[in-house]
Structure 1
């Protein structure tokens, strides 16, 4: 794949990194408009190569240093719901999206810390009794 084709594919991917990929179109019913909001980020990479400017530890069978080659690539896209703006009777309110995974991980971290603190306290009390 040549670099022009790779750049065209990367551009097409970034063009698709929109809020509509996460939520769809804003919704209007009974005078209320829901305007979804998302956090969308994208990143890319590249590469190249050709010859090797120096000696290598793995010469080819003829005893000559091997010639380098190269390639590369990479692309990442991340889209997360952030929340929704609610427009009703001229007032705007914000309702954040709830990330259950963060809540679960936060609870696990708190539980581990609590267990470590309890273990430390119990060890100190056992040492005092001796």
Structure 2
């Protein structure tokens, strides 16, 4: 009886590990099909002798897994299986490349939201400075 249980557990672990690996590999391959230079550099636009190529920063993330196990409370030794995955992509414009008369120039697009951490850090540093000066003059 113990040998049968160990064999079933070993088979379930092998099946789960190979299924999880294949599952994650399939997701990575699908995302890899879309992770190309065209995702970062948009289609060029030509107008009046000037070519403009949009540039973006693309971030991909995904996770997935699967499992298989024996229900310990069941007298029949039912085996349950499950799999799940999730992912996302985020694109942020960085700027554009302008090509005119054989010269290429990159123009950055400023994102006001990128200054928020700098403002918060500056405010915190100012607060610490004023707090230290107040203690210095008090005592």
TM-score calculated relative to the size of structure 2: 0.63
- Residue in structure 1 matched with residue 46 of structure 2 by the alignment: 28
The structural deviation recorded for 1:36 is 0.9
Unaligned runs of 5+ in 1: 53-58
- Residue in structure 1 matched with residue 114 of structure 2 by the alignment: 102
- What is the SS of the residue equivalent to 1:98? coil
Identify the structure with bigger relative contact order (alpha carbons < 8 Å, sequence gap 6+).
1
1:113 aligns with 2:125: yes
Q: Superposition RMSD on alpha carbons, in Å?
A: 3.5
- Residue in structure 2 matched with residue 56 of structure 1 by the alignment: none
1:50 aligns with 2:62: no
- Residue in structure 1 matched with residue 59 of structure 2 by the alignment: 41
The structural deviation recorded for 1:71 is 2.6
- What is the SS of the residue equivalent to 2:129? helix
- Residue in structure 2 matched with residue 86 of structure 1 by the alignment: 98
Number of residue pairs matched by the alignment: 116
- 2:132 & 2:110 partners in 1: Cα distance? 34
Select the structure that is richer in helix.
2
Select the structure that is richer in strand.
2
- What is the SS of the residue equivalent to 2:69? coil
- 1:19 & 1:37 partners in 2: Cα distance? 10
The structural deviation recorded for 1:49 is 0.8
**C-alpha contact (below 8 Å) 2:41/2:53 kept by paired residues:** no
Closer/same/farther in 2, CA of residues 47 and 119 from structure 1, 3 Å limit: same
